[in-house]
Structure 1
Amino acid sequence: MKRLLIALKYTAYLILGFVALLLIYIFCEFLLSRSTVNEIPSAEEKTITMYLQSNGVHTDLVFPVHHPQINWSTVFSYENTVGKQTDFRYVGIGWGDKGFYLNTPEWADLTISTALVAATGMGETALHVTYQKNIHEDELTKKVLITETQYKKMIEFIMSSIDMDASGQPIYIKTDAQYGKNDAFYEAKGSYSIFYTCNTWTNKAMKIGGLKSSRWVAFDKGILYQHHESIKK
């Protein structure tokens, strides 16, 4: 009986310790994600329209498919989508845990095993690429105007995140877990964890581009918060 009470006591300590760490994590994430890293001033004209877009879990950077700096369809082939259509105006690019992406399109699909692998950084990572014909601003889609230089920096960051094959091409992931007819997954570099999530990657791209961003963010709400005023413009 005494051993059982001791065991229950330490189990309670472990549970309370876990809950305390979780609350600290959430509290710190909220504070830091609402703390702003201001855009680096530039005299260059903002001629490019991009978007920050969330599906409620993952955030994407959305750019014009065709631009003098890059044609994204030559990087991520239309042929790798189910629909294989080619008349798209925009492309959304996001980074994250491969298992999380393929198995958790929505929070309701999350399993304990997927969460543990993602949280500990033990899994592989992937890029999720989605082609779109039109974009409509709403609470999960924010318009951001950027300069040519800012775009160039973000392009370089995205390209550095792609895991290429021997011929220098992105490695397409063959899967039935594609979210629709116009998206595809590719192998990526980097390690996902609770401290570096898909939304951290999006935020880092914004920082590298010299754009308004969060000091640190783990969830989509923080990075969207930094551009909440854009929907009113």
Structure 2
Amino acid sequence: MRIVRIGVVLALAVPALAVGAYLLAAMVLSRLPVDGQPAARQGVEVFVCTNGVHTDLVLPAVTVAVDWTVDLPNGDFPGAGPWASHRSFGWGDRAFYLETRQWSDLRPSTALSALFGRGPSVMHVYALHRPAGSPDCGVVVLDEGQYDALAAFVRGSFRRDGDGRVMPLPGSGYGATDLFYEAVGHYSPVETCNEWTGKALRAAGVTMAAWAPFESGVMRWVR
């Protein structure tokens, strides 16, 4: 019986220690900066927005250097209208995004698939108005080279067909102003949706956390 009790204690202790180590690493590394370039005084205004759990990049739909409407035409967002001056980008696990429209929809199989990085990923894109002044958003200004690097990272996160075109998932959006697209990579506790945002900003030379698995690890550097 003693051996059984030891086994039970270990079975409970090992996951608890793993979770504790994960949270400790997240707390430390989300406060440890990877220093970027000095803030640009003029350039492209980029927003980083949160819903309290997940972060998105919000970029101008069209600039001199980058026209997102080539890959993401207005026709993909029929409800957006001419006021949609920006596109938001959020990367994540396909099953979690598409099958968990609200928390009550969450199934253990979906959570486990995301946890172990087994499923494909998607890019969630909204057509929206410039979110200036929103308390849920921070803003950074990037020079031309920085914005090119950021755009290259985002573009490289889309899965593409043999002709180089992005691959939308018809009818997958939550409404008429958003749509999901096939993406590259697999979600995991290390490669989270928020860490994708952090990687994009680090690629652009923005001072950012060394690792940002949670939204707070991103937002603390852009607010």
Per the TM superposition, whether the score is higher than 0.5 is yes
SS of structure 1 residue aligned to 2:70: helix
SS of structure 1 residue aligned to 2:46: strand
Query: Which of 106, 128, 134 in structure 2 is aligned with 1:132?
Result: 128
1:89 counterpart residue number: 85
CA contact (8 A) 1:124 1:191 kept: yes
Query: Which of 14, 31, 35 in structure 2 is aligned with 1:17?
Result: 14
2:189 counterpart residue number: 194
**Cα distance in 1 between the residues matched to 2:169 and 2:84:** 21
SS of structure 2 residue aligned to 1:180: coil
Q: CA, structure 1 residues 135+119, in 2 after alignment: closer, same or farther (shift >3 Å)?
A: same
Which shows bigger deviation, 44-53 or 89-98?
44-53
Q: Amino acid of the residue matched to residue 33 of structure 2?
A: T
2:152 counterpart residue number: 156
Structure 1 residue 126: deviation in Å?
A: 0.6
Q: Amino acid of the residue matched to residue 23 of structure 1?
A: G
Identity of aligned residues (%): 30
1:27 aligns with 2:28: no
Structure 1 residue 87: deviation in Å?
A: 3.1
Any gaps of 5 or more consecutive residues in structure 1? 229-233
Aligned residue runs from structure 1 range 10-159, under 5 A: 10-41=7-38, 45-81=41-77, 83=79, 85-105=81-101, 107=103, 109-159=105-155
Structure 1 residue 10: deviation in Å?
A: 1.9
CA contact (8 A) 1:75 1:170 kept: yes
CA contact (8 A) 1:83 1:182 kept: yes
**Cα distance in 2 between the residues matched to 1:30 and 1:100:** 24
**Cα distance in 2 between the residues matched to 1:61 and 1:134:** 12
Q: CA, structure 1 residues 142+106, in 2 after alignment: closer, same or farther (shift >3 Å)?
A: farther
- Return the TM-score normalized by structure 2: 0.91
Q: CA, structure 1 residues 217+80, in 2 after alignment: closer, same or farther (shift >3 Å)?
A: same
Q: CA, structure 1 residues 189+210, in 2 after alignment: closer, same or farther (shift >3 Å)?
A: same
Which shows bigger deviation, 6-15 or 143-152?
6-15
**Cα distance in 1 between the residues matched to 2:201 and 2:140:** 10
* CA root-mean-square deviation: 2.0
1:231 counterpart residue number: none
More helix by percentage: 1
**Cα distance in 2 between the residues matched to 1:9 and 1:170:** 53
Q: CA, structure 1 residues 201+45, in 2 after alignment: closer, same or farther (shift >3 Å)?
A: same
Which shows bigger deviation, 137-146 or 75-84?
75-84
Structure 1 residue 149: deviation in Å?
A: 0.8
Any gaps of 5 or more consecutive residues in structure 2? none
Structure 1 residue 82: deviation in Å?
A: 5.1
1:208 aligns with 2:203: yes
**Cα distance in 2 between the residues matched to 1:46 and 1:111:** 46
**Cα distance in 2 between the residues matched to 1:81 and 1:88:** 9
